Amino acid sequence: MRFLNIRTGVSIKSGLKTIAKSLASSRLTFSIVILLIVLVQNIITTPTFFKVSITNGLLSGYIPNILDEASELVIVTLGMTLVIAATGGVDISVGAIMAISASFCGLMLNGSEYRTDVFHNPYILALLIGLLGGALCGVFNGFLVSYLKMQPMIATLILFTAGRSIAKQITHGQTIYIMNPVYKYLGVQIPGVPIRTTIIVSTVIIVIMVLVTKLTSLGLYVQSVGINGSPSRLVGLNSRMIKLMAFVICGILSGIAGLVGSSSIGSVNSGELGLSIEMDAILAVALGGNMLGGGKFSIAGSVIGAYTIQAITTTLYAMSVRADQLNVFTAFIIIVIIVASSDVFKDKVQKLTRKVFSKNVSVGG
């Protein structure tokens, strides 16, 4: 019996140590912990946070609102994840690409009119033209990075600076109001469906990205090029094409986010649509445990990071924090992420973990 107690104690210790090491090494641990902290905070401060009801035929409540309002950020973050993983740099033009795509779509639908409820061109064609605009922006950024060897942030700074001016030229400097209720199907509700379309669209995009990166070689190729492009070329990978593809996918996803965002409000305002979303997307990627230097990435981590950011924003609003104070809390979160991602902090955590589990198990139970 004494021998069995010793064996049981050692097994428990070994199991706990293995679990602790797995949690410490997992890229999702930090983002999940932050999300859980936010949820616990809401349980304490906002008792109705998890209450869901149906209002005007749509699910309403804090949780549906978070899923809805985070949709654009989630879609953009997925594209940003691929760009960071493949190049080790960021695309700061995603907000401008959203505006350009929505402007092309609005121009196709409204023609020369700034406010109308009659489509001048087929709805699907207008959506495809908008996505084509996003893809072309991605090709432009990808060409500068992969073929001209420009740093991603410098390359995308061009569209970051000029993109909204381009969008304004497309719309002749006016806000386009698309009054046809069909346009709202993409960003508000499909008749008879109680879930906002933004939630459906973002969920479909997440599933597609997971399938593409897991069931095809794209995810492996992106990680290989991001870790080290030179050896990747030696084994036959076209690193320039893979980087270009990452930017094109990011451009298309940004275009989808722009169409969803403009549809939800029924208008195209090139000066406001997607404003500052690039910073939130980068933060979401980092919060999801992804390395900003490129290489391995986690779609699940990025998605959790995006929803966490929106959950924090919603929580702060529920706590009566003013909009002009949100950046202070965002800055604090960035500081926490930087500290938690540092090698020194990780070493401290590992040493603490070893110290906790290196204690002798008492003999005799």
What is the per-residue pLDDT for 362? 46
Report the chain's C-alpha Rg in angstroms. 23
Residues lower than pLDDT 50 in the chain:
3-4, 360-365
Tokens for 252? 């298309």
How far is residue 226 CA from its own chain's centroid? Answer: 19
State pLDDT tens for residues 235-283.
677 889 999 999 999 999 999 999 999 999 989 998 889 988 999 999 8
What is the per-residue pLDDT for 324? 78
Cα(150)–Cα(136) distance, integer angstroms? 18
What is the per-residue pLDDT for 363? 42
State pLDDT tens for residues 90-139.
999 999 999 999 999 999 998 878 888 888 999 999 999 999 999 999 99
- Measured distance between the N- and C-terminal CA atoms of the chain, rounded to whole angstroms: 10
What is the per-residue pLDDT for 14? 57
Phi, psi of 60 (to 5 degrees): -135, 160
* CATH number 2.60.120 is the correct assignment for the domain at 58-321: no
What is the per-residue pLDDT for 235? 67
What is the per-residue pLDDT for 5? 53
pTM recorded for the entire structure: 0.87
Using alpha carbons, list the distances in angstroms from residue 278 to 78, 85, 91, 165, 178.
12, 16, 7, 17, 26
Cα(43)–Cα(45) distance, integer angstroms? 6
What is the per-residue pLDDT for 256? 96
> Strands, E, within 70-227: which ranges?
115-116, 176-178
